[in-house]
Amino acid sequence: MTSILTKRHLNRRTFLRGMGATLALPFLDAMVPAASAATRKAPVRLGFFYIPNGAIMEHWTPAAKGASYELPYILEPLAGVRDELIVASRLAHINATSMGDGGGDHARASAAFLTGVHPNKTAGTDIRAGVSVDQLAAEHLRFDTRFPSLELTLEPGRLAGSCDSGYSCAYSNSISWRTDHTPNPPEGNPRLLFERMFGGRDATLNADERAKRRAYRGSILDYVMEDASDLMGTLGATDRRKMDEYLHAVRQVERQIEFNEERSHDEVGDLELPASAPKNFAEYARLMFDLQILAYKTDQTRVTTMLIGGEGSNRAYNEVGVSGGHHGLSHHLGDEKKIADIREINRYHMEQFAYFLEQMKNTEDGEGSLLDNSLIVYGSGISDGNRHSHVDLPVIVAGRAGGQVKPGRHIEFAEKTPMTNLYLNALEYVGCPTDAVGDSTGKLNYLDSISA
């Protein structure tokens, strides 16, 4: 065990260790010195979620503004967290438009989503966008957590070659950009993500030890139980309960990964999913959400991004009776059946996002919940997938950012307000005030008040 007790309280950076496994701890009461109640304040987390191909906006946008809004059909799954949301209307990504570059709206939409920059049209190595908001935050927080950021995906794809009208696949399959020329490859393999979070430094093991560990079919928790037992003996009743719940959650995620790896590996259309990923979309999404929550809960990172699907995704959703490809359906040309299918896909995605928010709301974090202490942005760089529109985007903001945001409202901003203005607010909430992100023109008003 690392740094169990310091000055009669538990060090926030305590890890349970054993056989190369490293298990970070959730926030415990024992980590707060009795004379320093102010240190109980939890950090603010940022999460960004991207949906491809736009949305059926008439079933997304609430009719009423302000606190009296009602959830339309696509947003109905969010009923349990309605008061934790801001539905943000009329935000735009003008730099995702053509600007003389012709086709490629899907690639531009995802490339601009977190950068606010018009990408260089190329299928070669001279890709260029801009540093994304998540990476600006990650750079600021890099010394505070084990991982400055985590980039995740539910649709692993290549970052080379041409994917959209002469645009590199890097633009469609990543929304996080570390530099103007360097997209971060998102992780879609639950096993690799789990090992990254809890596997420790395998470099400390010799080849025989690594082979033995891979062959062992027990739980990673078995490696750290001696440390865990020692720690439990020093904790009060409330912290022991928190630890029991946490260890149970880790084991449940681990069991789900093992179960997936033992299943038959049926293909999902043209998608090549890792063996540890469920073939059912909802199960896959919820497993990756659970891993993300564990990363937040143990303060391994405070910044995450997730591709719900790569832009231009043509995945079918047979689980909700949609056999056509998502991208193909989005070019519906007014066909009512295709519009209805896209609406069901939008709602199905929202059901999984609702699961994530509800789990965040039900997870203790300091004196509040993880959702209280987070700012979560969910949306797309395209609104109408049929017309490839980049204005009046589908955007939801969830959480209270540690009390800095007043949710429970539908806010209609001025037409074509840059979405990057929202990112100026987000960076300020994590203590990283920034003059500009992409095409931003100034922070959004009203997020922190009830006057709109």
Q: Is residue 318 located within the same domain as residue 414?
A: yes
Is-contact 255 247, C-beta < 8 A? no
Q: Is residue 318 located within the same domain as residue 381?
A: yes
Strand-pair partners of 182:
179
Q: Has residue 324 been placed in a domain?
A: yes
Is-contact 393 381, C-beta < 8 A? yes
Query: Containing domain of residue 425, as a range?
Result: 44-188+280-292+299-452
CATH of the domain at 325: 3.40.720.10
The whole-number pLDDT of residue 224 equals 82
Is-contact 315 277, C-beta < 8 A? no
CA distance 20 to 3: 17
CA distance 144 to 12: 11
The H or E element spanning position 222 is: helix 221-232
The whole-number pLDDT of residue 18 equals 74
* Residue with the two structure tokens 């259309």: 269
Strand-pair partners of 2:
15
The letter for the amino acid at 11 is: N
CA distance 446 to 396: 15
Q: Is residue 67 located within the same domain as residue 172?
A: yes
Q: Is residue 72 located within the same domain as residue 130?
A: yes
CA 153 to chain centre: 9
Is-contact 277 322, C-beta < 8 A? no
Strand-pair partners of 15:
2, 24
CA distance 149 to 136: 10
263 CB-contact burial (10 Å; exposed 0-12 / middle 13-18 / buried 19+): exposed
CA distance 437 to 421: 8
* CA angle (430 as vertex; 429, 432 as ends), nearest 5: 100
Q: Is residue 312 located within the same domain as residue 436?
A: yes
Q: Is residue 448 located within the same domain as residue 310?
A: yes
The whole-number pLDDT of residue 203 equals 43
Total domain count, the chain: 2
Q: Is residue 349 located within the same domain as residue 209?
A: no
Q: Is residue 320 located within the same domain as residue 438?
A: yes
Each residue's pLDDT tens digit in the chain (452 positions)? 544 444 446 776 677 877 667 888 888 888 876 445 445 689 999 999 999 999 999 999 999 999 999 999 999 999 999 999 999 999 999 999 999 999 999 999 999 999 999 999 999 999 999 999 999 999 999 999 999 999 999 999 888 899 999 999 999 999 999 999 999 999 999 999 998 998 754 445 555 655 555 555 567 788 788 888 888 888 888 889 988 998 889 889 999 998 888 875 555 666 778 889 999 999 999 999 999 999 999 999 999 999 999 999 999 999 999 999 999 999 999 999 999 999 999 999 999 999 999 999 999 998 899 999 999 999 999 999 999 999 999 999 999 999 999 999 999 999 999 999 999 999 999 999 999 999 999 999 888 765 44
Q: Has residue 193 been placed in a domain?
A: no
Q: Is residue 235 located within the same domain as residue 333?
A: no
* Boundary residue ending a domain (276, 308, 338): 276
Q: Is residue 60 located within the same domain as residue 102?
A: yes
The whole-number pLDDT of residue 3 equals 45
Q: Is residue 175 located within the same domain as residue 320?
A: yes
Is-contact 291 193, C-beta < 8 A? yes
Q: Has residue 315 been placed in a domain?
A: yes
Supply the Cα-derived Rg of the chain in whole angstroms: 22
The whole-number pLDDT of residue 6 equals 45
* Boundary residue ending a domain (241, 276, 311): 276
CA distance 306 to 186: 8
The answer for 263, left when phi > 0, alpha when psi is -120 to 50, beta otherwise, is beta
* Boundary residue ending a domain (242, 276, 310): 276
Q: Has residue 194 been placed in a domain?
A: no
Q: Is residue 58 located within the same domain as residue 35?
A: no
Q: Has residue 195 been placed in a domain?
A: no
Q: Has residue 106 been placed in a domain?
A: yes
